[in-house]
Amino acid sequence: MLKNTLINKYTSLGALLQENGQCSFTVWAPLCNSVNLVVQASPEVTWPMENDGQGYWCVNVDRVTPGMQYLYQIDGKLLRPDPASRWQPGGVHGPSAVVHTAFAWTDDQWHGIEPAEMIIYELHTGTFTNSGNFQGIISTLDYLQSLGVTSIEIMPIAQFPGHHNWGYDGVYPFAVHKDYGTRDDLKQLVNAAHERGIAVVLDVVYNHLGPEGNYLADYGPYFTEKYKASWSNSINFDGAWCDGVRNYFIQNALMWLDEFHIDALRLDAVHAIYDNSAVHIMEELTEQVRQLEQRTQRRKVLIAEFDLNNPRYITPVEKGGYGMDAQWVDEFHHALHAVITGEREGYYEDFGSLEMLAGSLQHSYVYTGQYSVHRKRYFGTVPKHTSYNQCIVFVQNHDQVGNRFMGDRLATMLSPEALKLAAATLLLSPHIPLLFMGEEYGEKNPFMYFTSHSDECLIEQLCEGRRREFAHFNWQGEVPNPQSEEVFNNSKLSWNATEVAGLFNFHQHLIAFRKSRPAMQNFQRYSAVRNIRIKNDVLHFERHGNKDMLIVYLNFSKEAQSIVNENRFPCNVVIDSSGAEWEGPGNLSTATVQPGEPFLLNPLSATVFEIVNRSDE
């Protein structure tokens, strides 16, 4: 039953079941003297595993069926779940279980999506629908298709402790959280999304693992004390024995992209991945994903989320970068939020002027080398040699809502007209737009931070950490208990699609407009957005592309503003957020504005003009 084979740099991990019933078990434990496979059966069966000489312990077992539960025995003492477990039926502390990988895919005609095509909708599986599972998401796909989104981004689904969690406390990266459904349920979701022309982005966490149920250190040097991390021990990507650690996370990424047909990975907080290797782990991951693209002939997109204005992650490898496809840009949100809400506490102290929002429209980053009061240092750089379709921006997301004191959404703070103005600012920008679940109709239920740990000491540390975090914002009151079942239940969507009249239809129209107008299809920096100007709280800019030109006016004033058409040609209004069709107060300007003619903009409104009879020059 034992088979000793040479294992190369990239090694498949976990329990891999073949159609003939033979299952190979492989685990990385380079410093252990012995590892045994212990099958949870009656009677219990133990299989000695062989070391391949590079730290991988392997054994092949016949007549294995899906659902068979097992543990690994380390050095004759510790019994631990499989670090690469595909299924934890009893939760994070229980035995692992074997799964099958076969699935009847019907997406042969699907070849992936380019970043430029992405209109992303971020959701949390547990709170998106009442059922709180993958089947619930499937039931909404027709709705999402009608909205016009082209990608859904699912917050982390790796097995975490308890029933509910944001997902960033996952401790089994290869296992689907059991309360969300089976692996087949997830594949059904991806398959159904592809049938509707919707890509699937999965949020994965490679910068840390959660504290409860994390047994990786029992197997080997997965962690290092060389770097100080914010959430837990730093992962060992560049020290002794790091090759096994790097392989572990690369194999995980390839599993989601290949076996599950996932189209893109959003890699959480890559700035917290510390790696001084000659080849950074993000560069190595990108190389392996590009090889997968060649094998499958399907586009696979890598998105970096990080809090540094550093284009290195999305710069091609041949130009000294890591070659990833796109990145989240928080500062667009910060600049817009500070302007439209007036908040100036915490990191919002660095923002608040329309000039900063204009800077984000031009450079994606706001801080490109200026002094940051909040960071107390000069910060950022100009993202040269990048394009707008490498930058993902948003008005709201899980972080910016959920890390507020009460998880309150913009719909509880702003008027319907201000919400439409925010939507237009996002969807008329040249960047990849992301909507947070419920944003499109003005959801008012909060999205709060929630967990369901069982370790009392850990729970107290968690609550104290939340209190310290909110101290930066000077918010008053008692911090909601993330362990509360009520906090979790209150964070579920109401699905009251009439929460803010006209808002859904306005989002739908803007998305369709974005897809149809040639000027909205240009993502080249320095040509897509031109003539950015600010006057009397009105941000004005032009969108250019493919011989098409649009003029956008965003009035952030609470008063009507008079503007003069400075163009040499007449201009037609093509979008006015204050129009009656969006349940607004009604248009103030005429349908066509002549050269030199003044026109009025409603308070808190977005207006888009097209040029009439413009000759190509």
**pLDDT for position 471:** 59
Asked if 125 and 58 sit in the same domain, the reply is no
Question: Pick from 499, 514, 529: which residue ends a domain?
Answer: 514
Residue 174 marked in a binding site: no
Asked if 491 and 606 sit in the same domain, the reply is no
Mean pLDDT of 149-173: 97
Q: What residues contact 50, with CB distance under 8 A and at least 6 apart?
A: 2, 3, 4, 57, 58, 59
Could you give the percent of the chain with pLDDT greater than 90?
88
Q: How do residues 553-572 score in pLDDT, each as one tens digit? A: 999 999 999 999 999 999 99
Phi then psi for residue 243, to 5 deg, are: -60, -40
Consecutive H or E run containing 571: strand 571-576
What is the 3-state secondary structure of 115-157? HHHCCEEEECHHHHCCCCCHHHHHCCHHHHHHHCCCEEEECCC
**pLDDT for position 118:** 98
Residue 266 marked in a binding site: yes
Residue 233 marked in a binding site: no
- Write out the DSSP string of 206-224: -S---STT--HHHHS--EE
From 214, 196, 219, select the one nearest 26 (Cα to Cα).
Answer: 219
455 belongs to the catalytic site: no
Phi then psi for residue 613, to 5 deg, are: 55, 40
Consecutive H or E run containing 83: none
250 in a domain, yes or no?
no
**pLDDT for position 6:** 42
578 in a domain, yes or no?
yes
Residue 299 marked in a binding site: no
Asked if 75 and 190 sit in the same domain, the reply is no
Residue 267 marked in a binding site: yes
**pLDDT for position 235:** 96
552 bridge partner residues: 541, 608
Spatial contact of 372 and 350, defined as CB atoms under 8 Å apart: yes
CATH of the domain at 465: 3.20.20.80
Asked if 442 and 552 sit in the same domain, the reply is no
305 belongs to the catalytic site: yes
Asked if 438 and 308 sit in the same domain, the reply is yes
Strands (E), 158-208: 158-159, 172-176, 199-204
Mean pLDDT of 47-75: 97
Spatial contact of 604 and 447, defined as CB atoms under 8 Å apart: no
Q: With 70 as the cut, is the pLDDT of residue 532 above it? A: yes
The active-site residue, picked from 153, 268, 284, 576, is 268
91 in a domain, yes or no?
yes
Q: pLDDT grade, residue 2 (50/70/90)?
A: very low
Mean pLDDT of 173-201: 98
Residue 398 marked in a binding site: yes
243 in a domain, yes or no?
no
**pLDDT for position 616:** 47
DSSP state of 466: H
Q: How do residues 270-327 score in pLDDT, each as one tens digit? A: 999 999 999 999 999 999 999 999 999 999 999 999 989 999 999 999 999 999 999 9
Question: Pick from 471, 496, 514: which residue ends a domain?
Answer: 514
Asked if 388 and 487 sit in the same domain, the reply is yes
From 405, 416, 496, 478, select the one nearest 446 (Cα to Cα).
Answer: 405
Q: Is 171 helix (H, G, I), strand (E, B) or coil?
A: coil
Q: pLDDT grade, residue 3 (50/70/90)?
A: very low
Q: With 70 as the cut, is the pLDDT of residue 467 above it? A: no
Asked if 498 and 384 sit in the same domain, the reply is yes
Q: pLDDT grade, residue 427 (50/70/90)?
A: very high
Could you give the percent of the chain with pLDDT greater than 70?
95
Spatial contact of 343 and 335, defined as CB atoms under 8 Å apart: no
129 in a domain, yes or no?
yes
Q: What residues contact 110, with CB distance under 8 A and at least 6 apart?
A: 194, 261, 298
Q: Which two tokens stand for residue 323?
A: 């070659």
200 in a domain, yes or no?
yes
Angle 417-428-271 from CA coordinates, rounded to 5°: 105
Residue 194 marked in a binding site: no
439 in a domain, yes or no?
yes
Q: pLDDT grade, residue 71 (50/70/90)?
A: very high
Q: Is 242 helix (H, G, I), strand (E, B) or coil?
A: helix
Q: What is d(CA 400, CA 343) in angstroms, rounded to the nearest whole number?
A: 13
Asked if 483 and 570 sit in the same domain, the reply is no
Residue 38 marked in a binding site: no
Alpha carbon 188 to chain centroid, angstroms: 21
**pLDDT for position 473:** 60
Minimum mean pLDDT range among 84-93, 278-287, 447-456: 447-456
Residue 148 marked in a binding site: no
**pLDDT for position 307:** 87
From 491, 481, 489, select the one nearest 445 (Cα to Cα).
Answer: 491
Asked if 541 and 398 sit in the same domain, the reply is no
Residue 403 marked in a binding site: yes
Asked if 90 and 140 sit in the same domain, the reply is no
Mean pLDDT of 393-415: 96
Which amino acid belongs to residue 226? K
Structural domain span for residue 546:
520-611
505 in a domain, yes or no?
yes
Angle 387-285-170 from CA coordinates, rounded to 5°: 105
Q: pLDDT grade, residue 457 (50/70/90)?
A: confident
Question: Pick from 490, 514, 538: which residue ends a domain?
Answer: 514
Residue 395 marked in a binding site: no
Question: 198-212 burial string, b = 16+ CB within 10 Å, else e?
Answer: bbbbbbbbbbbbbbb
Minimum mean pLDDT range among 92-96, 231-235, 402-406, 490-494: 231-235
The active-site residue, picked from 82, 305, 350, 417, is 305
Q: Cα separations (Å) of 184 from 67, 175, 176, 204, 243? A: 14, 12, 10, 19, 31
From 477, 329, 395, select the one nearest 122 (Cα to Cα).
Answer: 395
Residue 333 marked in a binding site: yes
CATH of the domain at 30: 2.60.40.10
Asked if 382 and 505 sit in the same domain, the reply is yes
From 535, 332, 304, select the one nearest 428 (Cα to Cα).
Answer: 332
**pLDDT for position 612:** 80
Q: What is d(CA 226, CA 220) in angstroms, rounded to the nearest whole number?
A: 16
Q: What residues contact 376, with CB distance under 8 A and at least 6 apart?
A: none
The number of distinct structural domains making up the chain is 3
Angle 184-189-190 from CA coordinates, rounded to 5°: 95
Residue 330 marked in a binding site: yes
CATH of the domain at 527: 2.60.40.1180
Asked if 306 and 386 sit in the same domain, the reply is yes
Residue 334 marked in a binding site: yes
